[in-house]
Amino acid sequence: MQQILLKELRYLLVIPLFLLSIAGAWAQGITVQGKVTDENGTALPGVTVLLKGGSTAAPTDANGAYSITVPNGNGTLVFSYIGFQSQEVPINNLSTIDVQMGADAEALEEVVVVGYGTQRRQDVTGAISSIKADDIVTQGANTVEKSLQGRVAGVQVESAGGNPGSGVRILVRGTGSLNNNNPLYIVDGVQVDNINNLAPTDIASMDILKDASAAAIYGSRAANGVVLITTKSGRKGENVIDFNAYYGIQNITKKLDLLNASEWAQVSNAAYNAAGLEPLDIAQNPQSLGKGTDWQDEIYRTAPMQNYNLAASGGGDAYTYSLSGGYLSQDGIVKNTGYDRWNLRLKSDFTKGRVRIGESVILSKETFDPLTGGLGGQGGNPVGSAIKMIPVFDVYNPDAIGGYGGAYGPVVDIANPVAQLNLRDVENNVNKAIINAFAEVSILDGLKYKFNVGYTNTSEYYYEYTRPYQIGALFTNLDADLYESRNQTNYFLQEHTLSYDKMFGKHNIQALVGYTYQNTQYRILEGRKSGMPDGISVIDAGTSNTASGSRAWENALISYLGRLIYSYDDRYVLTAIVRRDGSSRFGNNYQYGNFPSLAFAWNASSEEFFEPLESVFSMLKIRASYGELGNQEIEDYGFVPSISPNLNYVIGTEQTLWPGAIQTAFATPNIKWESSKTLDFGADLGFFNNKLFLTADYFIRRNTDILLQVPIPLSTGASSNNPYINAGQITNRGFEAALSYNNTVNDFTYGITGTFSSVNNEVDNLGTGSQQMFGGQPTHHGASATVTQAGYPVGAFYLIKTNGIFNSQEEINAHSYEGQLIQPNAKPGDIRFVDYNNDGQIDQNDRQFLGSPTPKFTYGFGGSLEWKGFDMNLFFQGTYGNKIYNGLRQDMESMNLNTNYSTATLNAWTPENHTDFPRAVINDPNLNSQTSDRFLENGSYLRFKTLQFGYTLPKSLLDAAKINSCRVYLSFDNLFTITNYKGYNPDLGRTGSVLDRGVDFGHAAYPLARTSMVGVQLSF
Amino acid sequence: MKRSLYIFLLSCSMVACTDELDQVNPNVLTEETFWKTENDVLSALAATYKTLRVQENGYWAVRGVELTNGRGDDFFIRNDVKDLYQLSTFTNNPTTGTPSNLYATAYMGIFRANQVIENTPNADIPDEAKANFIAEAKFLRALNYFHLAINFGDVPLITSVPQVREDYFVKQLPQAEIWALVESDLQDAKAVLPVSYSAEWVGRATQGAAIGYLGKAYVYQEKWAEAENEFKLLAQPDGRPQAPYNYDLLENYEQNFMKEYDNNKESLFEIQNQNVGGSQPWAGENANESQGVTTAQEFAPTEVGGWFEAFPTNKMFNEFQEEKTVDGDFDPRMYASIVWDYPEATFYKKPYSEFEEVFGFKSRIRKYQNWRDENEGIWISEINEKALRYADILLMYAEALTMQGRTTEAYPLVNRIRNRANLADLPTGYSQEQMMAEIRHQRMVEFFREGLRFYDLKRWGLLEEEIANSDKEGREFFNLARHEYFPIPQNELNTNPEIEQNPNW
């Protein structure tokens, strides 16, 4: 395509050149006029016409006409318009120059943001994936990150809890590190913690820098990839107002099958009988109990969401602007949860002579009404409690303080989930300002100096008010409690860059040197009291339990960077980057790290010998890169042993507080930067004018000196907070590909896209060599489910294996070792465990590797179709080959604790009915309930993620109303999921340690919602 | 360009002091600034005492009390907190959390004590004060090793602060070597610690406490003669108080477990509990943490908002009734320790008959409960846990004598315990075995819920028999070789390549 455009351009340019050469020189101060049209002859308004090297410029009017006065007839006019290829036309003393501009899809698509500047796609040497505005907006996702899921090869997006407004966990190319795997987010040049607060409609593009070469310019912070977000800018001469709105409803996609009251009583009685114990009082007369309370029904609801955005953008000769505001309101599918967000954003730039000044200001105000953490007890949050709460108990009790019923008797202390949702008000208000301003000076031709200042401020206000209550017999709080906290994070960035961009014949050089300084400061102030009178919720009104506190931290990063991009004849491109970073997180002699990278690309399709192939094979680029990046994402001050305060005791006959303080954790003074080395080979292939496009990469990423809190023995006395060490090496090998096909046949325009990523993750060595790190606690009590050690993937499942059920005493007797029973406490109906180490007993030494939480591959695919104003989009996404440890099922199927159980327990083994589900026995002498592969499941899934139908109203209808365009749409998210996984959602949403990644802990998850919505997109 | 470069360099120099990279933690002191003054050392000692009752997992915090009592034939723990139920029914394994946490907390205390012992000599304080502080830290270190030895057997012996990473990984040593350190630390403590403290410092380890624990350490090793030597420093042969320590039995047994009688004359060492500091009973070690304990709430009945986690077994209930007082009433220790449906029995200001009988147990725990209140209030109990009582000294003294064949000399000591309980003097002419049986009975009745029963049975070699003849839930799973000691916690095995599992696990 590029080639064809260039040819056309040449053709266009040749004629005026020829004519002009005949004409004589005119007097100074001539006027040139003409008309600018697109390839179809349609007038283009708002095209900038500029005298090259001068300050004279003029826009085209509504008819595409322009008129510009230039000093003489020897100059060159530059025609530029976003979305079209800019053209340079020598005046050659002509008075009329009409120009037809070639629509340049690449002008939009193919400028890639690479950090501290942009690059033409064809010059890109690293692995960079881009997502454009359209892809983000059509989905109606409420946060930007969610629109990434399945759409970018090599980027794995997992939900992070599902709470309304919560974000996602993004893994770029697998799990490289063991401490922090979050990519670096840069919004309009400023580093931010997450991008949940951005309105998706404000995004112009997201560029994901995946390999070390691409990301190297961000050095230390880029080891997990970089997500560069560019918000929308105005376009010169095009003043537009856009309005977007949608309204939707959300429903829970799946409920778990649990016992009703009478079924529960039957199972419970069976479990007590089997142990020879008296049944529970509340379980007597199962028949009379009926269905009881369905706790899941009590907490879930159909929840509405709505969103509005209004944006104005445009620009003139010397400026562009984009202003937008939005409001999102989303109720959660769990009652009393929700999220709302206000956004305001301004981005503009202004050019005067050699100086260009611009800024981007993004303000957001978010209010989270999250799922409360629970009122204590072993049910955890309301979602977990709704599953485990016995259906015999009542929701309400008008006589109890607070008005709610609850558990009583010898049952596990689980708090009524409805009471939890209603008795505690939790609200988190987050105000964020992301501000970036720059001044750029053109010093010489091609040489620019840019001064950039960034500032972000995050102010949070957290409020948690608990009413007095008495919930059943196990939960009592007679005084109202109030906790409030305010914290502030200030981030300051200063950057100086000098860039040089110049063409010398066929040689093109882009060079950059820079210095950056960053500083982050955090401080929190908090207070609490109890005993406020009813209806008053300020701390001053409290009478008891006074507590207050404040904490702070600060860190700094100083960096020097340099980049050189050299390309020859658009055929060969070489990129060399070096960055030197100094971090306050390391001790004096270890603060600095150097991070170099080198990359090469060959645009084979630009070679002459390629021309015969062009009708089929329109593009071929081959890339190779190698680079080193750093990781310093550990706690501040981690290298200094500190004295912990408030390890208090009581002393004296008066029993007063005796304040204590001592060192409680070790520190490693000589920890240093973790480094990540990546070798990447990639190819970009285009066929049939790039209608079919394939990008594929293979990489090897090796993280060494991994910064890790390797668990130290309990006997050190400091095992609750392990010191960081540079502990080991992890290698990720991966292949990723993205394929797209777009075509138009008559009135039909259609497209198909697909992504595929496969990462093989392996720990090469860790700590002392045989070091094992255990993680993934699956339940309140259960043993860990994962191990991380050399030779296996990070967080691999490491479990005792089961081998069916003992159907008779003979089978139990047969399961012996040197004449001794391996499972002496077993009875028929219990589980047979595998004595893996063959020592005659079942214990933790019998654990074995049984799978990985990392999918063998992840994929996404979708299609789009347009026909005469109608459009349709659909998108699927999934994983294959990963395992999930279902901790929730461990609790729900074990029948060893007095909680509700899953309906599967109705099929438990009995002497009469031999099934593959172990017998009910409340004291569980055989430990059927212990952490084992009984609860390990296949985590593969395929999710129909998005389906959207749209209709764009015909222009004829809209002209009267002075509307440019209007599209209405109907959209559905999470229509269905095909999976064998038995929990709520195979996309777990477990945040925190990466070692827990594949473990579904019953308390954590917020179930997935199915969303249906209707929306309108208007442009004036 | 020159100008720009100049600006560039200037701006760099404005901000580029690399000092910016030298951040100092604004929240805490560091090793460099600490360990200078007397106050520093005192606060380090507070932090060391604190581990004995640190929330949940301290030896005398709620989980500690549940663990030390939970395995006895006198104690039942219901199936609520799985770890506790497992250990009390002998279905625990190396991953069971409570023993693991207790192990970790004991070493936390040892780590802190080792810091005091190593750093105090360099502080800028008088030598005499230094010696005292070090002796105190040694007492605490000994106490933690004592707990490790009786619960886990062979464990790593760590007597210094690790300097390099390699020091973190320590082999376990035979139990005898752990006892050797306990003895030498207590001997050092005994030599230096004061007999008493001024009112403002009451609660710290005294010379009497060191002697008492040293004697107890000998008893656990059946070094009867050595034990006797220590006990006779604390009690006269007739059981009367011995100067300069002057410990004595309270006249009213029950007062030992009431907060009005904290730090009384019967107490050699006790754990200080009070609702001071923060307000949160489960805050962990920070400013919000209340310095009380939640044990009483966990044991209280559901009718008053408690979690009824534990009950006396009916075996215990019957044991209390073995012998009536001279007035024909029940043993006053029965009234103080448990509550059952006797005429006019009240519990939390209600007639006991209003409480529902659960699990078929005829009685509930009263000792250390705030049962004269309406309920357990804000769940923070202020009653100090008595770690070592004079009554224990007297009965161990009696045992040491009996075991040396001097049964007659044991009489006055046992009779002091009996007389306080309003029981008649023992009949004369007891054989060694008869006297031991009496001592065993007295210990069972005297120290219910004080965390001694399981360990006493183990010393006497009676675990198997006594658990088997009880109504303890899970007795069918008891296996002496296995359950005598807890296994080395899985988390220690996972992290320490030098350690090996206890042979029977």
pLDDT digit string, tens, across residues A845-894: 899 999 999 899 989 898 889 998 898 988 898 999 999 999 989 999 99
pLDDT in tens, B37-49: 999 999 999 999 9
- In whole angstroms, give the CA distance from residue A727 to residue A707: 6
Write down the pLDDT at residue B55.
80
Q: Kindly write down the DSSP assignment for every residue of B444-500, as one continuous string.
A: HHHTTTTT-HHHHHHHHT-HHHHHHTS--TTGGG--HHHHSSPPPPHHHHHH-TT--
DSSP assignment letter at A991: -
pLDDT at A162 over 70: no
Q: Flag whether B315 is in a domain.
A: no
Mean pLDDT of B127-136: 97
The share of chain B scoring above pLDDT 90, in percent, equals 84
Q: What is the ipTM of this complex?
A: 0.94
* Pairwise CB contact (< 8 Å): A780 & B274: no
pLDDT at A28 over 60: no
Q: Are B458 and B486 in contact (CB under 8 A)?
A: no
Nearest CB to B108 within list A640, A717, A844: A717
Nearest CB to B25 within list A519, A637, A656: A637
Three-class DSSP category at A737: strand
User: Could you tell me which residues are beta bridge partners of residue A597?
Assistant: A577, A627
3-class SS letters over B216-261: HHHHHCCCHHHHHHHHHHHECCCCCECCCCCCCCCCCHHHHHCHHH
Nearest CB to B492 within list A588, A713, A930: A713
pLDDT in tens, B173-224: 999 999 999 999 999 999 999 999 999 999 999 999 999 999 999 999 999 9
Query: Which of B:116-135 have CB within 8 Å of A?
Result: 116
Q: Are B219 and B258 in contact (CB under 8 A)?
A: no
Task: Report the relative pairing of strands A48-51 and A128-132 from DSSP bridges.
Answer: unpaired
Half-sphere exposure of A107 (CA within 13 A, CB side): 13
Write down the pLDDT at residue A924.
92
Output the average pLDDT for chain A. Answer: 86
Q: Are A679 and A173 in contact (CB under 8 A)?
A: no
Residue A175 structure tokens: 């799990």
Three-class DSSP category at A651: strand
Q: Which of A413, A636, A662 to mutate to test the interface with B (most CBs of B within 10 A)?
A: A662
Three-class DSSP category at A358: strand
DSSP assignment letter at B384: P
* Pairwise CB contact (< 8 Å): B18 & A897: no
On chain A, the residues whose CB falls within 8 A of the CB of B373 are none
Q: How far is A766 from chain B (nearest CA, A)?
A: 12
Residue A190 structure tokens: 């400023």
pLDDT at A487 over 80: yes
Write down the pLDDT at residue A309.
92
pLDDT in tens, B238-283: 999 999 999 999 999 999 999 999 999 999 999 999 999 887 888 7
- In whole angstroms, give the CA distance from residue A971 to residue A140: 8
Pairs of CB atoms within 8 A across A/B: 312
Q: Are A293 and A387 in contact (CB under 8 A)?
A: no
Range of the domain at B74: 31-206+455-505
- In whole angstroms, give the CA distance from residue A897 to residue A972: 40
Angle at which helix B175-192 crosses helix B127-152, to 10 degrees, equals 150
Angle at which helix B390-403 crosses helix B224-234, to 10 degrees, equals 140
Write down the pLDDT at residue A666.
92
pTM of the model: 0.82
B485 phi, psi to nearest 5 deg: -125, 155
* Pairwise CB contact (< 8 Å): A642 & B158: no
Q: How far is B258 from chain A (nearest CA, A)?
A: 14
Write down the pLDDT at residue A140.
52
pLDDT interval class at A3 (50, 70, 90)? very low
The amino acid at residue A136 is: I
Q: How far is A568 from chain B (nearest CA, A)?
A: 27
On chain B, the residues whose CB falls within 8 A of the CB of A526 are none
Write down the pLDDT at residue A494.
94
Q: Flag whether B74 is in a domain.
A: yes
Output the average pLDDT for chain B. Answer: 93
Smallest CA-to-CA distance from A726 within A713, A712, A708, A749 is with A708
pLDDT at A138 over 60: no
pLDDT at A990 over 60: yes
Angle at which helix B453-460 crosses helix B432-446, to 10 degrees, equals 160
- In whole angstroms, give the CA distance from residue A227 to residue A173: 13
Write down the pLDDT at residue B498.
93
Those residues whose C-beta lies under 8 Å from the C-beta of residue B182, and which sit 6 or more positions away, are B142, B145, B146, B149, B217
pLDDT interval class at B14 (50, 70, 90)? very low
pLDDT at A25 over 50: no
Mean pLDDT of A810-828: 94
Q: Are A188 and A230 in contact (CB under 8 A)?
A: yes
Q: How far is B275 from chain A (nearest CA, A)?
A: 9
Write down the pLDDT at residue A100.
81
DSSP assignment letter at B306: -
* Pairwise CB contact (< 8 Å): B170 & A715: yes
Write down the pLDDT at residue A10.
39
Write down the pLDDT at residue A1003.
63
Largest CA distance in chain B: 111
The alpha carbons of chain A give a radius of gyration, in whole angstroms, of 32
The amino acid at residue A299 is: I
| Mean pLDDT lowest among A118-122, A417-421, A976-980 | A118-122
Q: Please name the residue ranges forming H helices in A556-704.
A: none
Smallest CA-to-CA distance from B41 within B137, B139, B185, B144 is with B137
Query: Which of B:215-254 have CB within 8 Å of A?
Result: none
- In whole angstroms, give the CA distance from residue A783 to residue A800: 11
Q: How far is A671 from chain B (nearest CA, A)?
A: 12
- In whole angstroms, give the CA distance from residue A748 to residue A737: 27
Nearest CB to B305 within list A476, A643, A664: A476
Nearest CB to B20 within list A556, A650, A719: A556
Smallest CA-to-CA distance from B311 within B282, B332, B340 is with B340
Angle at which helix B38-50 crosses helix B127-152, to 10 degrees, equals 10
3-class SS letters over A180-220: CCCCEEEECCEEECCCCCCCHHHEEEEEEECCHHHHHHHHH
* Pairwise CB contact (< 8 Å): A652 & B200: yes
| All domains in chain A, ordered by first residue | 2-106 (2.60.40.1120), 107-233 (2.170.130.10)
- In whole angstroms, give the CA distance from residue A225 to residue A215: 6
Q: Look at B101 and A83; give whichever has higher pLDDT.
A: B101
pLDDT at A443 over 50: yes
Q: Flag whether B370 is in a domain.
A: no
The beta-strand segments (E) located in A22-127 are 30-37, 48-51, 57-59, 65-70, 76-80, 87-90, 99-100, 111-113, 118-120
Mean pLDDT of A806-824: 94
Query: Which of B:390-449 have CB within 8 Å of A?
Result: none
Q: Flag whether B145 is in a domain.
A: yes
On chain A, the residues whose CB falls within 8 A of the CB of B263 are 653
Q: Which of B11, B18, B19, B21 to mutate to test the interface with A (most CBs of A within 10 A)?
A: B21
* Pairwise CB contact (< 8 Å): B100 & A555: no
Smallest CA-to-CA distance from B401 within B447, B428, B435, B425 is with B435
pLDDT interval class at A606 (50, 70, 90)? confident
On chain A, the residues whose CB falls within 8 A of the CB of B1 are 443-444, 447
Write down the pLDDT at residue A566.
93
* Pairwise CB contact (< 8 Å): B104 & A717: yes
pLDDT interval class at A136 (50, 70, 90)? low
* Pairwise CB contact (< 8 Å): A546 & B279: yes
CATH of the domain at B93: 1.25.40.390
Q: Could you tell me if B13 lies within 8 Å of chain A, comparing CB atoms?
A: no
Q: Could you tell me if B205 lies within 8 Å of chain A, comparing CB atoms?
A: no
Q: How far is B494 from chain A (nearest CA, A)?
A: 6
Task: Report the relative pairing of strands A883-886 and A786-788 from DSSP bridges.
Answer: unpaired
pLDDT interval class at A15 (50, 70, 90)? very low
| Mean pLDDT lowest among A438-447, A472-481, B6-15, B131-140 | B6-15
Q: Flag whether B340 is in a domain.
A: no
Q: How far is B477 from chain A (nearest CA, A)?
A: 7
Mean pLDDT of A133-140: 61
- In whole angstroms, give the CA distance from residue B381 to residue B61: 11
Write down the pLDDT at residue A906.
96
Nearest CB to B21 within list A515, A584, A663: A584
Query: Which of B:162-181 have CB within 8 Å of A?
Result: 162, 165, 168-170
pLDDT in tens, A749-775: 998 989 898 989 999 988 766 778 888
- In whole angstroms, give the CA distance from residue A724 to residue A666: 9
CA angle at B366 for the pair B360 and B368, rounded to the nearest 5°: 140
Q: Look at B204 and A205; give whichever has higher pLDDT.
A: B204
pLDDT at A536 over 50: yes
Q: Which of B10, B57, B79, B161 to mutate to test the interface with A (most CBs of A within 10 A)?
A: B79
pLDDT interval class at B415 (50, 70, 90)? very high
pLDDT at A373 over 80: no
pLDDT at A474 over 70: yes
**Using CA of residue B246, residue B251, residue B257, residue B260, what is the dihedral sign?**
negative
Q: Flag whether B276 is in a domain.
A: no
On chain A, the residues whose CB falls within 8 A of the CB of B358 are 409-410
Q: Could you tell me if B260 lies within 8 Å of chain A, comparing CB atoms?
A: no
pLDDT in tens, A908-950: 999 999 999 999 999 999 999 999 999 999 999 999 988 889 9
- Burial of residue A679 (number of CB atoms within 10 Å: 0-12, 13-18, 19+): middle
- Burial of residue B464 (number of CB atoms within 10 Å: 0-12, 13-18, 19+): middle
The beta-strand segments (E) located in B322-390 are 338-340, 346-347, 350-351, 363-365, 385-389
| Mean pLDDT lowest among A785-789, B176-180, B439-443 | A785-789
Write down the pLDDT at residue A6.
39
Residue of B nearest to A545 (CA): B279
Most confident of A158-162, A569-573, B187-191: B187-191
Q: Flag whether B354 is in a domain.
A: no
Q: Flag whether B372 is in a domain.
A: no
Mean pLDDT of B434-448: 98
Residue of B nearest to A527 (CA): B288
Nearest CB to B496 within list A494, A582, A713: A713
Domain count, chain B: 1
Mean pLDDT of B456-474: 96
pLDDT interval class at A261 (50, 70, 90)? very high
Task: Report the relative pairing of strands A883-886 and A999-1000 from DSSP bridges.
Answer: parallel
Nearest CB to A584 within list B16, B22, B204: B22
The amino acid at residue B231 is: F
Write down the pLDDT at residue A9.
39
Those residues whose C-beta lies under 8 Å from the C-beta of residue B80, and which sit 6 or more positions away, are A378, A410, A411, A412, A413, A897, A898, B307, B309
Q: Which of A447, A715, A774 to mutate to test the interface with B (most CBs of B within 10 A)?
A: A715
| Mean pLDDT lowest among A282-286, A959-963, B64-68 | A959-963
| Mean pLDDT lowest among A238-252, B275-289, B325-339 | B275-289
Write down the pLDDT at residue A40.
66
* Pairwise CB contact (< 8 Å): A925 & B91: yes
Q: Could you tell me if B204 lies within 8 Å of chain A, comparing CB atoms?
A: yes
pLDDT at A7 over 50: no
Q: Look at A42 and A476; give whichever has higher pLDDT.
A: A476
